Amino acid sequence: MDAKHWALIVAILLLLGTGSVMANSWLSAHDAQVKLAATVESQNSVIAAAERREQDPSEQLRNTLQQIENLKRDVQTPQQVIQAIPQYLPQLPVPIRVEQAPAEPGKPQPPPVVTIPPEDLKTLYDFSADCAACKAERDTLKASMADELQKGIALARERDAAIKAARGGGFWKRTAQAAKWLGIGIAVGYFAHHR
């Protein structure tokens, strides 16, 4: 065998080696992309289920808040307030009373007098303090929820970027990579043919 045949054998072996490395690389990338697609699909179903679960309590909360607003609008007189308070206040030791002062002849009826027994004051104070604590917790949870929402948006963007990168980048980047490998193939073929 002369040098020309040895060079051809070496070129063929190099092409086969390069081809096998490229095939292995492509298979690995393809497997990674399939695994990524399966992971993304399963995570999307988890996200969709979480969003559905989030909608149910939100709808219930909206309905409850609407009922409370309706009660606030409907309850106007002291007597109505006294009747509605037990729904929202803890059981008071002594009931609150509404008393109507006797009317004097020739004068209009005086407004009713609401009497809060001293025994109820501590219960009412504790309830008010608990309301303030609930408001503080609610405000903190709202802020935390907003932060978590921003984290979720950032993670979704990061995931989308990772998917794009796993696919080889954007259209132009993939086109440039394909052109590079095409150029390498042409050069190897040219040198193998002209040696």
In DSSP notation, 19-53 reads: HHHHHHHHHHHHHHHHHHHHHHHHHHHHHHHHHHH
Whether 138 is in a domain gets the answer no
Q: Whole domain around residue 43: which residue ranges?
A: 1-88
Evaluate whether 8 touches 193 at the Cβ level (below 8 Å): no
φ/ψ bin of 96: left (φ > 0), alpha (ψ from -120 to 50), beta (otherwise): beta
92: Cβ contacts below 8 Å, ≥ 6 apart: 117, 119, 120, 123, 124
**Cα–Cα distance, 89 to 123 (Å, whole number):** 9
Average pLDDT on 34-47 reads 80
Domain count, the chain: 1
Whether 3 is in a domain gets the answer yes
- Per-residue pLDDT, 171: 64
73: Cβ contacts below 8 Å, ≥ 6 apart: none
pLDDT band at 170 (very low <50, low <70, confident <90, very high): low
More confident residue, 115 or 135: 135
Evaluate whether 166 touches 36 at the Cβ level (below 8 Å): yes
pLDDT band at 66 (very low <50, low <70, confident <90, very high): very high
H-state helical runs in 75-117: 78-84
Average pLDDT on 72-84 reads 85
- Per-residue pLDDT, 130: 92
Amino acid identity at 91: Q
- Residue 6 to residues 2, 27, 56, Cα–Cα distance (Å): 7, 31, 75
Whether 145 is in a domain gets the answer no
Average pLDDT on 7-32 reads 79
For 115, list phi and psi in degrees, rounded to 5. Answer: -110, 120
57 has a pLDDT exceeding 80: no
Evaluate whether 69 touches 61 at the Cβ level (below 8 Å): no
Whether 102 is in a domain gets the answer no
**Cα–Cα distance, 41 to 159 (Å, whole number):** 12
pLDDT band at 169 (very low <50, low <70, confident <90, very high): low
